[in-house]
Structure 1
Amino acid sequence: MPVDQTRTVRPRTTAGVLAIVGPAMLLVVISSDMVTLVLPMIGSAYGVAKAELAWLVTGFLLTFSIGIPFYGRVADRFSLRSLYVGTLLVFAGGSVVAALAPGFVPIVIGRVIMGAGAAAIPVLSVVAVMRLLPPDRRAVGFGLLGAVGGTGAALGPAFGGVIGQLIGWRGLFWTTAGLALVLLPGVLQGLPATPGADRRPIDVAGGLLLGSSIGALLLGVTQGQTNGFGSPASWPLIIAAPVLAVLFVWRLRTAAHPFVTPGLFAHRAFTAATLTVLLAMAVNLATLVFVPTMIIEENALTPGLASVIMIPGGIALGVLSPVAGRLMGRYGPRPPVLGGLIMIAAATLTLAFGAGASPVLVAVAVTGLGAGFAFVITNVTAVAAESQPPELAGAGLGIFQGAQFLGAGTGPALAGVLLDARHGTGPVLPWYALEAPAYSDLFLVLTAVTLIALVIAAGTLRSRP
């Protein structure tokens, strides 16, 4: 008999829920790209080429992107406590495998296992906020989760670099294993053991088609950036991605118990939120990746000083995400999302005109980017979560967050390809007069992508909850 979670699970305080899920969210987001600055150490230890080293990032992201939809679906059936405990143990186990690895391939295997465990935490954290907080506090909870996620994305490379420098790259993996285990007592004490309300069989075939479609596109794009889009490592995967997506839709229509409720995609607000987060995350991550590169190349700053310029954006994201949640409670999602997208577009357009200009101008633009993204991510997450009843929200959130991390993976990769293609050419902007035309063109394209997201959100999201 289905369990009504709205009756068996008592509401928690915002601080109580975030104290449990926030550190776990921070850990797994940091872990996604924490190896960036220790790749040279691992490469020199095993004589591995740069292209092969990329698998330490790609392997994690691949299982991460495939796993998110699955964990969203099983969250509707199993308890938050059991899922959190199980996946944190998987994550810790993968960290131990990487730390003990006698060669390069076992490190990749460890990272793949880490990604399989880490994939659960973002979607389970949003589900926890949806189920455990009263309706009037959920938007603030989503905002705080967005702040944690943004902080983790900014801290990942620095965390890995510092720990790797102090105790070596193996010590980095021992650190993540230990932190995951430290989180377990709080999870066991604070999250409910109540099973999910959805007792329908899980359509494993449908989930595999969905996850494989996301994974094929992500892997194809990242391989295209490394080896060229005409390489056999890239184009077959990019072609396979839409084929798998079509098969998923077919499975959705024909399965007796489809992976997600078919009516979910008829929900215009959910579809708009998913497309918006895909585009906004792609723009945000591409900017965060290539602004430091631009500053180092064009302004001759050290990596340390370049990272300092990025700090105001992270602060703006952390401070304004809870504010964005409160605004949604008062005005609905549409005004803050549109305002946030306008701020992002203004930031990237400023970078398009100011590529190669003073680092102070760049810092101002990055601050605007962080502020705008705070309003977008908080409110579109709330829209996606509230598109279904709390006890059935996991599957939809799995798809939503799969799109979010797909944007995070493909945005920087495609931006890198564009940047390489524009090197040595003149600027598209006729008024641009500085010495970094390729970066100017990149940020102009990111502005156009943001405007597409703005049109999608403006035509669909409502003004009041």
Structure 2
Amino acid sequence: MKNKRKSTICGQTWKNVFWETNSNCGLGEENELSTGVAGREASSADLSGIRRGPIVAALIIGAFVSILNETLLNIAFPELMKEFGVTAVTIQWLSTSYMLVIGILVPVTALLQQWFTTRQMFLSAMSIFLTGSVICAAAPWFGMLLIGRIVQALGTGLMLPVLMTTILVIFPPEKRGGAMGLIGLVIMSAPAVGPTLSGVIVDSLSWRWLFYLVIPLAAFSIVFAGIYLRNVSVLTKPKVDVLSILLSTIGFGGIVYGFSKAGEGSWSEPEAYWTIAAGGVSLLLFIWRQLAVKEPLLELLTFKYPLFSLAMALILILMMMIFAVMIILPLYLQTVLLLTAFHAGLAMMPGGIVNGIMAPVSGHLFDKFGPRALVIPGLALAALAAGLFIGVDSSTGTGYVILLHVVLLAGFSMVMMPVQTTGLNQLPRHLYPHGTAIISTLQQVAGAIGTALFISILASGSKAYLEASDDPASRGEAVNGFVAGMQDAFITGFVLALLALAIGFFVKRKKTEQRSTTNPDNNIEIT
């Protein structure tokens, strides 16, 4: 039997969407999708009096600081190796551990967001991140620096899903594109700014200043959020399934670590393939456990929503390509075109800036025209750029490489946030924490897999070229070998881009997004 009730979607005209007061806007859309006790509990959240602008500002400040830090340290690796007397394999743990901790922690955040309030989660996350930054800045030896990075990763892993879940709660579906676009501006631009900013700081000051500058930003984020951030979550406090947490940790941690090691060229080492195997088995057991228990750690029934499943497939492919390009292109610029690390960072910056600028623009266009108007042209641009990258060699000019990078990232920026928003919009509200946790986890897993896959293809192509060369020891042939391997990698990227384009044709606007928001008295049917 269906129970009808009146629901005010919004009594305002949305002229100033980010700074207006929210009078339960957007709850009506979720009610028709929510079923059972969880849905009724979610719809009872009181969002009256919520000012979106300060909340979004608080989230963006925290996100920028955390995500900037993820790529800030990479260019300082050579200096850190000299100061602490460690090898390249050891120093790589500063990056691997960061990705590993986030990959392990993020699945658990779906549970944590149902036990702790928005303020508790965000302020705790940023406080942990600040503590890690202080440890890194003061680290007298490598072990302490590594501990600091792990603590920073704990904070980042807790914060990112809270960021997306909060946006979903305080904005109705028809206005989420613009809000998610602002988040995309931070997520896309911060990694691009990181290497260049790091190069300037390391060249003129000390690597410790990479953390000295982050500390006041993190502190400001905590103070600002303490003043303006409001609780928007509903606490259901589900049962804690320790076995699910254990299986999740081994599964996602093993896959991220194993593929990260393989990405370092260690496919032949037991440490790589046994870790991946253990992670895969644990992940299968984790999936079985989530489908069997009454209150799963990560609700996999989100995948019964077709647009969410399509979005996850696209995010997996695109994140694999993005991480691979972030690794391969700087290597090409420094190894083949002989740019310094700093100038390579500068060459990568235009693409990152365009990517960041396009994110909010894409968000607003998404709200107006829906996902297909952005996703299909964006994927076509990405496929075009990937195809043109196949022809790049040792004689290619830096300007042309920068142009292709800009086109590639412009295409990505037209796809990522619209696809995420489309997928999450189809979920009922009580599944928001699970949906955002799945997206954040998938991004880390895709990054590890993509890096390992493309680096392996590059190494294999380079090796095959040099084995057929008459003078494999010469500098010229080494460069040609790298180019041959890179071209093989971009052929794979081109195929993946075409696959993503084919999937993109099935993405469409969700029906509830098409409902007019001018009538405040829409009838909502609850099953």
When the two structures are superposed, what TM-score results if normalisation uses the length of structure 1?
Answer: 0.91
Identity level (%): 24
Query: 8 Å contact 1:76–1:391 — kept in the other structure?
Result: no
Please, what is the CA RMSD of the aligned residues?
Answer: 2.5
Whole-angstrom CA distance in 1 between matches of 2:44 and 2:199 = 44
Alignment-derived partner of residue 490 in structure 2: 443
Range that drifts further, 223-232 or 81-90: 223-232
Query: What amino acid sits opposite 1:344 in the alignment?
Result: A
CA distance in 1, matches of 2:359, 2:292: 40
Deviates more, 1:119-128 or 1:95-104: 95-104
Cα gap change, 1:185 to 1:212, in 2 (>3 Å): same
* Secondary structure of the corresponding residue to residue 213 of structure 2: helix
Matches within 5 A, 1:42-441: 42-226=80-264, 228-356=266-394, 357-423=396-462, 425=464, 436-441=483-488
Any gaps of 5 or more consecutive residues in structure 1? 428-433
Cα 1:381–1:231 shift into 2, 3 Å:
same
Deviation of 1:136 (Å): 2.8
SS of the counterpart of 2:297?
coil
Shift of 1:178: 3.1
- The Cα of 1:408 is off from its aligned counterpart by 2.5
**Residues of 1 paired with 2:458 and 2:239: CA distance?**
46
Q: State the 1:62 CA deviation.
A: 0.7
Question: Deviation of residue 378 (structure 1)?
Answer: 0.9
Q: Distance in 1 between matches of 2:503 and 2:337?
A: 36
Distance 2:397 2:138 in 1: 45
**More helix as a share of residues:** 1
Structure 1 residue 130, shift from structure 2 partner: 1.0
- TM superposition shift of 1:172: 2.5
Deviation string 1:325-376 (CA, Å, 9 cap, x unpaired) is: 2232233323422221211111111111234422222122111112111111
Q: What is the CA–CA distance in structure 2 between the aligned matches of 1:311 and 1:172, rounded to whole Å?
A: 18
State the Cα deviation string for residues 14-49 of structure 1 (Å, max 9, x = none): 643332111211111111122212222222222111
Take 2:82 and 2:331, find their aligned partners in 1: how far apart are those partners? 23
Would you say the 8 A contact 2:108–2:298 is kept in 1?
no
My pick for the range that moved more, 345-354 or 210-219, is 210-219
Task: Provide the secondary structure at the position in 2 that maps to 1:354.
Answer: coil
Specify whether residues 377 and 76 from structure 1 end up closer, same or farther in structure 2 by C-alpha distance, changes over 3 A only: farther
What stretches of structure 2 of length at least 5 have no aligned partner? 1-36, 467-478, 514-527
The CA deviation at 1:460 is 5.4
- Aligned-pair distance for 1:385? 2.3
C-alpha displacement of 1:57: 0.8
CA distance in 2, matches of 1:70, 1:8: 25
SS in 2 for 1:256: coil
Counterpart of 1:431 in structure 2 is none
Shift of 1:444: 1.2
Which of 491, 504, 516 is residue 457 of structure 1 equivalent to? 504
Whether the 8 Å contact between 1:3 and 1:195 is mirrored in structure 2 is: no
| Whole-angstrom CA distance in 1 between matches of 2:77 and 2:190 | 19
Number of residues of Structure 1 aligned to a counterpart in Structure 2: 459
Question: Contact 1:268–1:460 at 8 Å: present in 2 too?
Answer: no
Q: Which moved more, 1:49-58 or 1:359-368?
A: 359-368
CA distance in 2 between counterparts of 1:87 and 1:176 reads: 15
Return the offset for 1:305. Answer: 3.4
> Shift in Å at residue 176 of structure 1?
2.6
One-letter code of the match for 1:422? G
Residues in 2 aligned to 1:316 and 1:14: alpha-carbon distance in whole angstroms: 26
Higher mean alpha-carbon deviation, 344-353 vs 178-187, is at 178-187
Question: What CA distance in whole angstroms lies between the structure 1 residues aligned with 2:366 and 2:230?
Answer: 28
TM-score when normalising by structure 2: 0.81
On the 8 A contact 1:74/1:202 being kept in 2, the answer is no
Q: Which residue is 2:524 aligned to?
A: none
